[in-house]
Chains A and B, each alone.
Chain A
Amino acid sequence: MNTVLSSPHAVGARSVGNVMGLVLIALVPATLAGFWRFGWPSVYLWLVTILACVATEVLCVRLRGLSAGKAVFDGSAVLTGWLLAMSLPPWAPWWIGVVGGVFAVAITKHLFGGLGQNLFNPAMAARVMLLISFPVEMTQWLLPTPDALPGALDALAITFGAGAPDAMSSASLLGHIKAEATKGVLLDQSLPGHYSATAFGIGERQGSLGETSALLLLAGGIFLVIKGVIGLRIPLAFLAGVVVPAAIASAVAPDHYLGPVAHLLSGGVMLAAFFIATDYVTSASTPLGQWIFGLGCGLLTWTIRTWGAYPEGIAFAIMLMNATAPLIDQYTRPRIFGRKRDGRSLNPAETAKARAR
């Protein structure tokens, strides 16, 4: 993530479209892994969600009297749709993708003023809206079974028809341990058979379309860091915000609190830390602010997962921190060269004059 300081600014060689393109490339491996694990229904859902976002973008841009071509081909609508699809249950019905896509682009982005003006991350706002509105459809996870996936035609019936068969759906790891905990079953009994670090690392588990393979997401994130598209502050702070409290809590009471590795590998932490929290528009932009922003996302994620009503808290955590990002920037502005931190001049005479006025 680049730091925006006071002028003069150099004009970079990178356009918005260029940056978006790199992010999309970084998403490809994890997405392909998701397609391979969840089959054709997830491909259809991914397509429908992106199409809904692009169509809404064109419509909104037209309604606002702007030129449609530029807005669409800068790739931001495609990226929004892609990220949203990554965070959906892979066999969700088509209308989940459409409703989410329209909400993300029309309400979260264009009603706030379009690209660069939105307060909240469109993909996360849409995911929260969908989770609140359609809790049944949004919690139908299925175990990945690459051998027994439906063919392209049967898959049409799943995405555009009846939806995922009940028998195949199950709770995610975080949902499972939360449900068990309300029964009084502790982690030492509820965890075995549901979690192993290797399976979670390569993505052999239930989860949303793009979150399952933590390692491929990490690889994509590192690619973006090397390319200079994102900085390391927000992702590192985010991961630390999840790992540190999880490590402390699970060391104190391992039966009640999930360990740090399980936290890192589940619920899309990697996806959020590298691809979503680092969104230029909705995150903090000062160096110190980025540390605070990432740390806040991580701590809130862990807090909501541990004590909240919903088992997974990333989308909520990111939206809450989105709302505080302008405030964080306000209080962490770097010192202007030649002036004190509060903006007053270093020259005592001038300060006195300003006071007298």
Chain B
Amino acid sequence: MNIAKQFDTLWYQGASLAFVAMVTGAALAIASQATGPRIAEAQARKTQAALAEVLPGNSFDNDLMADTIAVKDTDGRTVTVYRARKAGVVTGVVFGMENKGYSGTIKLVMGVDRDGRLTGVRVTGHTETPGLGDKIELAKNPWVLSFDGRSLGDPAPARWAVKKDGGIFDQFAGATITPRAVVNAVKRGLDLYAAQQATMLGEPAAPAAPQS
């Protein structure tokens, strides 16, 4: 049989289109079924790895994604807090902050341990000027590591600023606004932790006494 003879007939064109649509549709549906769970798992692993970046390696043994709580910051924005637990005890929390940079919003995640010390800060999204403001990315510059181990009392609140404003954090040549925005966001994050520590740690608010 010569198929080419049927090429100009409407039924052949319609049928072949319908057939292709059916086959590709079915293939995609099957593939989606087969890969869906694995893809979700891979995604979860990726997020977990990103959160673990700002926590000390051995500080938790739980599934960060499964242990979250939502708190409200002073602006009324809802912040999702991921809790790191070791043997059931909360050792630290991870949450995201954002601030307006030189051009657009800078997003970052920060890890804080029980005592309110920073265990790590990473910028996860920004649109700052390449070559100037983008030094806040760890891939470009180790600047963001200068937050490690800092807390609200170290340095003193007045020195939580870039050097140009009398603080202790470096600014970049030609760019002050970007690091200033990051420093402010981190400071606000620490303030938020201090204000909502009990809620974040998931402990009853009353016994605030034990401070070891």
Contacts and interface: CB of A to CB of B under 8 A. Distances in A.
Interface of A: 135-136, 139, 179, 182-183, 309
B102 A136 contact: no
Contacts of B131: 135
B177 A139 contact: no
Given A135-B132, A183-B180, A309 B174 contact: no
Given A182-B102, A309-B102, A139 B174 contact: yes
Interface in B171-187: 173-174, 176-177, 180-181
Contact of A179 (B100, B173, B176): B176
A183 to B, nearest CB: 7
B103 interface: yes
Contacts of A139: 174
B132 to A, nearest CB: 5
A139 B175 CA distance: 10
A135 B129 contact: yes
Nearest to B184: A183
A309 B176 contact: no
B177 A136 contact: no
B180 A136 contact: no
Interface of B: 100, 102-103, 129, 131-132, 173-174, 176-177, 180-181
Given A136-B132, A179-B176, A309-B103, 16 more contacts: A135-B129, A135-B131, A135-B132, A135-B174, A136-B173, A136-B174, A139-B174, A179-B177, A182-B100, A182-B102, A182-B177, A182-B180, A182-B181, A183-B180, A309-B102, A309-B129
Give the dominant DSSP class at B's interface.
loop
19 contacts: A135-B129, A135-B131, A135-B132, A135-B174, A136-B132, A136-B173, A136-B174, A139-B174, A179-B176, A179-B177, A182-B100, A182-B102, A182-B177, A182-B180, A182-B181, A183-B180, A309-B102, A309-B103, A309-B129
Nearest to B133: A135
Nearest to A139: B174
Nearest to B178: A182
Best-surrounded residue of B103, B174, B176, B177 (most CB of chain A within 10 A): B174
A179 B101 CA distance: 11
Contacts of B102: 182, 309
A136 B131 CA distance: 9
A250 to B, nearest CB: 23
A136 B172 CA distance: 10
A92 to B, nearest CB: 13
Nearest to A178: B177
A139 B173 CA distance: 10
Top 10 closest pairs, chain A to chain B, by CB: A136-B174, A309-B103, A182-B177, A136-B173, A135-B132, A135-B174, A139-B174, A179-B177, A135-B129, A179-B176
A130 B177 CA distance: 21
A117 to B, nearest CB: 32
A309 B181 CA distance: 15
Contacts of A135: 129, 131-132, 174
A182 B177 CA distance: 7
Nearest to B180: A183
Contacts of A309: 102-103, 129
A288 B193 CA distance: 62
A179 B180 CA distance: 10
A179 B165 CA distance: 12
Contacts of B100: 182
Nearest to B131: A135
A236 B100 CA distance: 37
A135 B128 CA distance: 13
Contacts of B174: 135-136, 139
A171 B131 CA distance: 18
A139 B132 CA distance: 12
Nearest to A182: B177
B182 to A, nearest CB: 13
B78 to A, nearest CB: 24
Nearest to A140: B174
Nearest to A166: B173
Contacts of A179: 176-177
A32 B159 CA distance: 45
A309 B176 CA distance: 14
A309 B127 CA distance: 11
A228 B129 CA distance: 43
A183 B129 CA distance: 18
Nearest to A133: B131
A84 to B, nearest CB: 21
A28 B84 CA distance: 69
A336 B177 CA distance: 55
